Amino acid sequence: MSDSSTSTELAARLREMVAGLAPGDRLPSSRELIKRYRVGPATVARAISALAAEGAVVTRPGSGTYAAVRGRPEAEPVDTAWQTVALTDRAVETRLIAEPLAPAPADTITMDGGYIHRSLQPTRALSAALARAARRPDAWDRATASGLPALRAVFAEIVGGGVTPDDVLVTSGGQSALSIAFRAIAGPGSPVLVESPSYPGALAAAGAAGLRPVPVPLDAEGVRPDLLADAFTMTGARLLYCQPTFHNPTGTVLSPERRRQVLRVARAAGAFVIEDDFARHLGHGGPVLRPLVADDGDATVVHVTSLTKPAAPSLRIGALVARGPVMERMRAVRMVDDFFVTRPLQEAALELLSAPSWDRHVRTLGADLRERCSRLAAALSREMPTATVTSVPAGGLHLWLRLPPGVDDTALTAAARQRGVAVSAGTRYFATEPPAAHLRLGFAATADHAELDEGARRLGAALRDLGPREQ
Which CATH number characterizes residue 201's domain? 3.40.640.10
Q: Tell me: do 368 and 426 sit in the same domain.
A: yes
Tell me what pLDDT residue 270 has. Answer: 93
Indicate whether 124 pLDDT > 70.
yes
C-alpha to C-alpha distance for 343 and 281, rounded to whole angstroms? 23
What is the DSSP secondary-structure string of 239-251?
EEEE--SS-TTT-
- Shared domain for 258 and 272, answered yes or no, is yes
- 155 is a domain residue: yes
Domain co-membership, 55 together with 137: no
368-396: average pLDDT: 96
Question: Is residue 82 in a domain?
Answer: no
Give 300-335 pLDDT, tens digit per residue.
999 999 999 999 999 999 999 999 999 999 999 988
Structural domain includes residue 96: no
Q: Which of 327, 356, 385 is the last residue of a domain?
A: 356
- Percentage of the chain beyond pLDDT 90 is 69
Average pLDDT, the chain: 90
Q: CA–CA separation, 304 vs 299, rounded Å?
A: 14
Give SS3 for 213. Answer: strand
Residue 44 clears pLDDT 80, i.e. is over it: yes
CATH number at residue 364: 3.90.1150.10
How much is the pLDDT for 143? 87
> Taking the complete model, does pTM exceed 0.85, yes or no?
no
347: in domain: yes
Residues 388 and 429 in one domain: yes
DSSP letter string over 405-439? Answer: TT--HHHHHHHHHHTTEE-EEGGGG-SS--SS-EE
Q: What percent of the chain has pLDDT over 70?
A: 92
Domain that holds residue 34: 7-67
Q: Is residue 322 part of a domain?
A: yes
What digits encode the pLDDT tens for the residues 213-222? 999 999 999 9
**Long-range CB contact pairs, 260-265, < 8 A, 24+:** 260/295, 261/225, 262/222, 262/223, 262/225, 262/228, 262/292, 263/292, 263/295, 263/296, 263/298, 263/300, 263/301, 265/225, 265/228, 265/229, 265/232
266 and 371, same structural domain? no
- Looking at the fold, whether 336 and 424 belong to one and the same domain comes out as no
Query: Is 53 contained in some domain?
Result: yes
Question: With contact defined as beta carbons under 8 Å apart, do 409 and 427 qualify?
Answer: yes
Residue 417 lies inside a defined structural domain of this protein: yes
How many domains in the chain? 3
Least Cα distance to 347 among 129, 50, 174 occurs for: 129
Q: Is the pLDDT of residue 4 over 60?
A: no
Report yes or no on 268 lying in a domain: yes
Please tell me whether residues 270 and 194 are part of one structural domain.
yes
User: Is residue 152 domain-shared with residue 133, that is, in the same domain?
Assistant: yes
Check whether residue 324 and residue 403 sit in a common domain. Answer: no
Rounded to whole angstroms, the Cα distance separating 352 from 343 reads 14
Q: What is the reported pLDDT for 103? A: 63
Region 35-47: mean pLDDT is 88
181, 320 contact by CB (below 8 A): yes
For residue range 178-193, list pLDDT tens digits in order: 999 999 999 999 999 9
- Cβ distance 368 to 120 under 8 Å? yes
Q: Beta partners for 306?
A: 318
DSSP letters of 76-116?
PPP--HHHHHHTTT-----TTTS-SSPPPPTT-EE-S-SS-
* Strand 421-422 relative to strand 301-306, pairing: unpaired
Whether 255 and 161 map to the same domain: the answer is yes
3-state secondary structure of 276: strand
Structural contact between residues 392 and 399, judged by C-beta atoms closer than 8 angstroms? yes
Q: What is the CATH number of the domain that holds 54?
A: 1.10.10.10
pLDDT in tens, 71-101: 554 556 777 676 667 776 666 666 666 655 5
